[in-house]
Amino acid sequence: MIILAQFVVILFGIFIISVGVLMLLNPEKALATLQKAGSTNLINYAEITIRLIPAIAFVIYSPYSRFPEVLKLFGWFMIVTSLVLYFVPRKYHYAYSMKWAGILKPVQVRLISPLAFIFGAAIIYSAL
């Protein structure tokens, strides 16, 4: 179970770095993806449920990581916010994602993409 949790944490770090690559190379597509968050019941609840997988892995693997308290706190934060999102009406989740997709411009998405690289690398580093 611990090795599986470590693998999921590392995969999540790779996923975050991949999102950073998308933000850097194709910010319009990144914004279009953000616009889809919460757009349908399937997307909304699939997104929330899939988000729980790395969250649980963070909590399980945290005692074995380089930063146990940070991973544990982050995992529980993701779990709690995911559970809250199950009860927030989908239209509010969708409106929130649309609001940010309208505020952020492609150049801003490119400028913040290094944060995804740093965050993803930090997640991977914490799990190795």
Q: Does residue 127 lie within any of the structural domains? A: no
Helix axes 90-103, 27-36, angle to 10 degrees: 160
Q: Does residue 18 lie within any of the structural domains? A: yes
Q: What domain range is 46 assigned to?
A: 2-119
Q: What is the pLDDT along the chain (128 residues), one digit of tens a residue?
A: 999 999 999 999 999 999 999 999 999 999 999 998 888 989 989 999 999 999 999 999 999 999 999 999 999 999 999 999 999 999 999 999 999 999 999 999 999 999 999 999 999 999 99
Q: Does residue 105 lie within any of the structural domains? A: yes
Query: Is the separation of the CB atoms in 113 and 24 below 8 Å?
Result: yes
Domain count, the chain: 1
Average pLDDT, the chain: 95
**What pLDDT, on a 0 to 100 scale, did the predictor assign at position 38?**
85
Q: Does residue 36 lie within any of the structural domains? A: yes
Q: Does residue 67 lie within any of the structural domains? A: yes
Q: Does residue 126 lie within any of the structural domains? A: no
Query: Is the separation of the CB atoms in 123 and 16 below 8 Å?
Result: yes
Q: Does residue 128 lie within any of the structural domains? A: no
CB half-sphere exposure, 117, CA atoms < 13 A: 11
pLDDT tens readout for residues 23-46: 999 999 999 999 988 889 899 899
Q: Does residue 125 lie within any of the structural domains? A: no
